[in-house]
Amino acid sequence: MEPRNNSEVSEFLLLGFSEASELQPLIFGFFLSMYLTTVFGNLIIILATISDSHLYTPMYFFLSNLSFVDISFTSTTIPKMLWNIQTQSKFITFEGCIVQMYFYILFIGLDDFLLAVMAYDRYVAICHPLHYTVIMNPRLCRLLVVISWIISAIYSLLHNLMALRLSFCADFKIPHFFCELNQVLQLACSDTFVNYMVLYFAAALLGGGPFAGILYSYSKIVSSICGITSAQGKYKAFSTCASHLSVVSLFYCSVLGVYISPAAPHSSTSSAAASVMYSVVIPMLNPFIYSLRNKDIKGALKRFYRMVGIKRQIILGVMEFP
């Protein structure tokens, strides 16, 4: 099979989950409902944190950034898949594939860093409550988010530039619903040793670093909680980080399950199905996890809906009496 240079590549074929035509409407409806729930739920979190002064704290600042990343994360892959199902076409251009791969790596990296930053925020709040406002000042919060964006952008750009140097074989079928980096590398006819080395090294450094930070933060948090004498104090301290711990567990367990477990072969559609967990399901669940047991979010949402209702009544009143 003759290799072709990437400059000659015009498009890839995204195989998705199933080629059965009778299943396409079901898949379309399933992912459309999850996508709309993800966008609506995370958008509500963003609007609540922006509109309510009670939520102008580091924790909710990071949460609003995480919600924005989750919306962008799913918007990178799901709309294209829905469009392909609707038009009965599974093709994606080479340029579109590179762009999709760039933003996918960017936002999964941001998810990783923001979860680590939020764990650090909980560590400071529980272990150093008297110095919390001094340590987690607005300047540091903005700096942590900006650094997360810069590192993720550079990391994603590095992988894309290296992918552009590859030559590809005649078979451009990707057994996935988006241009996942591992799947694209498997289609290359040229040597991908350096690509994989950079992938594994960067994943260990940029993925393992934040994960180690999360483990350290929660080890200190558990130690501090165990030192609290009252049961009510322990419950209150634990409740402040329970939601974040749930999201961290879901995110890392699903990612590790896809990329490390031998039960999830990267060359089959089972990998695509497993990837749905961290790329679609978790961004959809995040707003529910953070809001269901969070009195501050619930209160902010009630005030937000009340404010919207009042403005609507004022607008209707003005329209009725010009």
269 with 17: CB under 8 angstroms? yes
CA-CA distance, 258 to 265, in Å (whole number)?
Answer: 8
Tell which residue, 285, 281, 244, 260, has the closest CA to residue 77: 281
Residues 174, 198 contacting (CB under 8 angstroms): no
Average pLDDT over residues 171-179: 84
Whether residue 20 is predicted with pLDDT greater than 80 in this model: the reply is no
pLDDT tens digit sequence for 60-81: 899 999 999 999 999 999 999 9
What is the pLDDT at residue 316?
52
Biggest alpha carbon distance in the chain?
75
Share of the chain above pLDDT 70, in %: 82
- Closest Cα to residue 114, out of 145, 151, 140, 135? 145
Give the CATH number for residue 155: 1.20.1070.10
Please state the rounded mean pLDDT for residues 206-223: 89
Per the structure, how many domains does the chain have?
1
SS3 state of residue 168: strand
The domain of 264 spans 4-320
